[in-house]
Amino acid sequence: MDLNYSDEEQAFRAEVRAFLAENLPAEVSDKVRRGISLGKEGHEKWHATLNARGWLAYNWPREFGGAEWNAVQRHIFEEECAAAYAPRIVPFGLSMLAPVLQKFGSKAQQDHYLPRILSGEDWWCQGYSEPGAGSDLASLKTRAVRDGDHYVVNGQKTWTTLGQYANWIFCLVRTDPEAKQQEGISFLLIDMNSPGITVRPIVLLDGTPEVNEVFFDDVRVPVENLVGEENKGWTYAKYLLTHERTNIAGVGFSQAGLDAVKRIARIETANGRPLVENPHFAARLAQVEIDLMAMATTNMRIISQAASGQAPGVESSMLKVKGTIIRQEINDLTRRAVGPYAMPFASEAVEGDNAPIGPEYAGPVAAHYFNNRKLSIFGGSNEIQRGIIAKVKMGG
């Protein structure tokens, strides 16, 4: 097996790098590097830049306007974007809802919603979790009752990432309370501007209001907003989650993070020696690099399987667990490398005139460290993923 990049792949990498050099404004990459929020407008601009180049929906089939890149192209693109500190592509419409609509949505839904995801006209958020229904998602209680040609929705979703920017939410709702838990759930598309919806922010450990609570109070939703069949939502929800988990692996982010921590560890410390000469630190650094290389290969294998039509199965759980452990280990090594300078975790401390204390590269470290605690929780916690892996692989 030849693991080197082909000439064609090297040329593709050069093309991506040139595109980023020309189209990614320095003030945007600087914000990303320092962990400063881009706001809605900042994300929308980057979304439009990629869409204009035809590189936004790189995981979509061509028939829906995607670039249909292979696993190596995706890997190269993600690696280059992370290394250049490009904004992350907001995944809710593009990588979560779109695969569901492409597989299970009606032609009318595909024709209506997919182009609007590409154009950025619609910003989607994910309404799965509820208070009391996170890991045990199938126990969700948000109720949708049929009333003529509408559903009437009542209940609450929580941890809704960037819901404050969204004009649409895809929701799991209970349509049959008598059926077995998983069998009474439907997948509904809800306009966030509908009367009866209230969005309330939740502030995270890093000081940012990245997630929200969303309340539904007699919200009327047209029946044509049901995806697939009523009470079959659990099947679609699981399909979406396998895509979500594979994306969370974040190989490119880890590679960029690893490069950054290596740079910091080579800087001379107060005792005249760089941290990388400390055997304990060097061993951890080497281990995480080995783990990352192994995971990058697994990631490509799973993406290629998915591209050939097989939905990623239990492998997406493996990627999620391993990928998030690696990202958190890199965060931890970076935090240790900057020592007491990893203090200004609140966004105010790295914005405006509030210059961080210590070297400039230490500024965003604590914010990233605290924010990325979420990685082992969302998309189904790592404990839950381990349970899935054990059940599928060991019949537990």
The residues carrying an active-site annotation are: 244
Our finding on whether 159 is near ligand FAD (CB under 6 A) is yes
Our finding on whether 128 is near ligand FAD (CB under 6 A) is yes
Residue (106 or 135) nearer to ligand FAD, CB: 135
**Looking at 211, 249, 337, 338, which residue binds ligand FAD (CB under 6 A)?**
211
In the complex, minimum distance from the CB of residue 216 to ligand FAD, in angstroms, rounded to a whole number:
14
In the complex, minimum distance from the CB of residue 182 to ligand FAD, in angstroms, rounded to a whole number:
15
Strands 168-174 and 124-127: parallel
**Looking at 160, 164, 186, 372, which residue binds ligand FAD (CB under 6 A)?**
160
Give the x/- contact pattern for ligand FAD in 80-119, rule: CB under 6 A: ----------------------------------------
Closest CA to 241 of 307, 317, 180: 317
In the complex, minimum distance from the CB of residue 357 to ligand FAD, in angstroms, rounded to a whole number:
27
Phi and psi at residue 107, in whole multiples of 5°? -60, -40
Our finding on whether 383 is near ligand FAD (CB under 6 A) is yes
In the complex, minimum distance from the CB of residue 159 to ligand FAD, in angstroms, rounded to a whole number:
3
Our finding on whether 377 is near ligand FAD (CB under 6 A) is yes
Decide: 326 and 254 in contact? Cβ < 8 Å.
yes
Half-sphere exposure of 152 (CA within 13 A, CB side): 6
Residue 318 in tokens: 């493996």
**Looking at 126, 186, 255, 331, which residue binds ligand FAD (CB under 6 A)?**
126
Residue (312 or 379) nearer to ligand FAD, CB: 379
Our finding on whether 134 is near ligand FAD (CB under 6 A) is yes
Kind plus residue range of the DSSP H or E element containing 8? helix 7-23
In the complex, minimum distance from the CB of residue 218 to ligand FAD, in angstroms, rounded to a whole number:
21
User: Could you tell me which stretch among 110-118, 127-135, 254-262, 338-346 binds ligand FAD (CB under 6 A)?
Assistant: 127-135
> For residue 217, which amino acid is it?
D
> Distance (Å, rounded) from C-alpha 338 to C-alpha 259?
15
> Distance (Å, rounded) from C-alpha 305 to C-alpha 318?
15
The counts of H helices and E strands in the chain are: 13, 8
Our finding on whether 381 is near ligand FAD (CB under 6 A) is yes
Angle at CA of residue 31, ends 29 and 33, nearest 5° = 70
> Distance (Å, rounded) from C-alpha 362 to C-alpha 343?
9
> For residue 280, which amino acid is it?
H
Which residue number places its CB atom closest to ligand FAD? Answer: 134
Closest CA to 144 of 172, 173, 181, 170: 173
Interface residue list for ligand FAD (CB under 6 A): 125-129, 134-135, 159-161, 211, 374, 377-378, 380-381, 383-384, 387
